């Protein structure tokens, strides 16, 4: 499809400004995932040349306790009906506590509501509306492109300052792509590597607790430039190895977030643009393989839980080369 530019979205009068509402259909519930269609999938398959499969999910217990304070650590139970049989189940399993994908239920825009104008009362337990299962029923698969800002900045002698929660500007993404000699295409899946998860997981427990309390996390600057860069590149999904994709603490920019989340662009990404967000992905092995092979694209398969009405899910993401 031919999409309006982000600046053109800002001039809409038939729907909320800066939104994609209606562009994929009046009743659409998949958002920009629609951009990774059959033609894009066939083209992405050409990235599989060496028979390499790379997991992009950390172990479920890697971030324990969870970084977000309101989430809990799951408890794994084994049980059996007799000596030769086992079942298991999880208590307090928060679906977005580790490598995950945010569904379009995860945030509503403070002024305009949920993506594509679905009413609040439709977003409840048992209702399928905007549930993460929409990307399981019609799986989200396409061409993933690694944008390895961590390696680029380190090569420039300017490593990312994770301790201060550095805010990354959209321009550095263009610089990184040029440095890698890589290009993106509409329908691609962004894989943004900053090195934050590896940095965090290497900290001792006391320092990890300080980072969780401070909520000072590396990520993209929460501004129109970031939103425009993502939309105008036509990404089906934007994933990173950071906690919230955007930097926190929030910028405080009054354009975004409303009274509950002042300065955050989560609401614009999910509620207005319908752009799925991946967070806490493990991109380190993909980075090592890219450095050795010189290949920055892959066939990427993201398989969220087929959970009716799910707000989010483990990413279950695999890169194939």
DSSP of 6-57 = HHHHTT-SSS-TT--TBTTBTT--SGGGGGS-HHHHHHHGGG--S--EEE--
Structure tokens that stand for 195 in this block: 């090195």
A 10 A CB-CB count for 210 gives: 12
Buried/exposed code over 96-131 (b: 16+ C-beta within 10 A; e: otherwise) = bbbbbbbbbbbbbbbebebbbebeeeebeeeeebbb
DSSP string, 187-212: T-EEEEE-SHHHHHHTS-HHHHHHHH
- Rounded to the nearest 10°, the torsion over CA 263, 267, 273, 274 is 150
Return the bridge partners of 142, or none: 300
Classify burial at 158, counting beta carbons within 10 Å of its beta carbon; exposed 0-12, middle 13-18, buried 19 or more.
exposed
Among residues 35, 38, 37, the alpha carbon closest in space to that of 2 is found at: 35
**CA 89 to the chain's CA centroid:** 27
The residue assigned the tokens 């499969």 is 53
Q: What are the residue ranges spanned by the domains of the chain?
A: 6-320
- Give me the residues of the chain with pLDDT under 50, please: none
- What's the confidence (pLDDT) of residue 2? 74
Neighbour-count burial of 43, counting CB atoms closer than 10 A to its CB (0-12 exposed, 13-18 middle, 19+ buried): middle
Which tens digit of pLDDT belongs to each residue from 160-195? 999 999 999 999 999 999 999 999 999 999 999 999
Q: Which residues are CB-contacts of 213 (< 8 A; sequence separation ≥ 6)?
A: none
Which pLDDT belongs to residue 34?
Answer: 97
Residue 1: the pLDDT is 56
Q: What are phi and psi of 40, to 5 degrees?
A: -65, -35
State which fold the 6-320 domain adopts.
Glucose Oxidase; domain 1 (3.50.30)
82 is written with which tokens? Answer: 């007799």
- Return phi, psi of residue 52, to 5°: -110, 130
Spell out the long-range contacts of 286-295 with Cβ–Cβ below 8 A and sequence spacing 24 or more: 286/54, 286/56, 286/146, 286/191, 286/193, 286/319, 287/146, 287/148, 287/150, 287/151, 287/193, 289/52, 289/54, 289/321, 290/146, 290/148, 290/180, 291/151, 293/50, 293/321, 295/47, 295/49, 295/321
Q: What DSSP character marks residue 233?
A: T
């Amino acid at each position: 499809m031919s999409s309006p530019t982000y600046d053109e979205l800002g001039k809409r009068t038939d729907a909320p400004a800066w939104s994609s509402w209606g562009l994929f259909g009046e009743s659409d519930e998949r958002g920009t995932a629609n951009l990774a269609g059959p033609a894009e999938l066939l083209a992405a398959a050409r990235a599989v040349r060496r028979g390499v499969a790379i997991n992009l999910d950390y172990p479920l217990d890697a971030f324990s306790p969870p970084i977000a304070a309101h989430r809990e650590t799951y408890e794994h139970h084994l049980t059996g009906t007799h000596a030769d049989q086992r079942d298991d189940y999880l208590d307090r399993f928060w679906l977005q506590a580790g490598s995950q994908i945010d569904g379009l239920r995860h945030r509503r825009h403070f002024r305009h509501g949920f993506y594509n104008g679905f009413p609040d009362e439709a977003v409840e337990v048992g209702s399928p509306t905007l549930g993460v299962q929409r990307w399981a029923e019609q799986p989200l698969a396409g061409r993933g492109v690694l944008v390895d800002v961590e390696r680029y900045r380190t090569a420039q002698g300017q490593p990312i300052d994770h301790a201060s929660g550095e805010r990354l500007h959209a321009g550095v993404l263009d610089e990184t792509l040029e440095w890698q000699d890589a290009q993106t295409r509409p329908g691609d899946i962004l894989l943004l590597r900053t090195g934050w998860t590896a940095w965090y997981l290497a900290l001792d427990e006391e320092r990890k607790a300080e980072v969780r309390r401070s909520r000072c996390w590396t990520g993209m600057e929460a501004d129109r430039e970031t939103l425009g860069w993502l939309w105008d590149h036509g990404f089906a999904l934007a994933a990173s190895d950071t906690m919230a994709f955007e930097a926190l603490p929030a910028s405080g920019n009054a354009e975004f977030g409303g009274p509950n989340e002042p300065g955050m662009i989560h609401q614009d990404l999910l509620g207005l643009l319908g752009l799925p967000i991946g967070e806490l992905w493990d991109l380190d092995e993909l980075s090592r393989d890219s450095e050795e092979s010189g290949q920055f694209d892959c066939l990427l398969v993201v398989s969220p839980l087929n959970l009716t009405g799910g707000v989010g899910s483990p990413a279950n993401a695999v890169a194939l080369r």
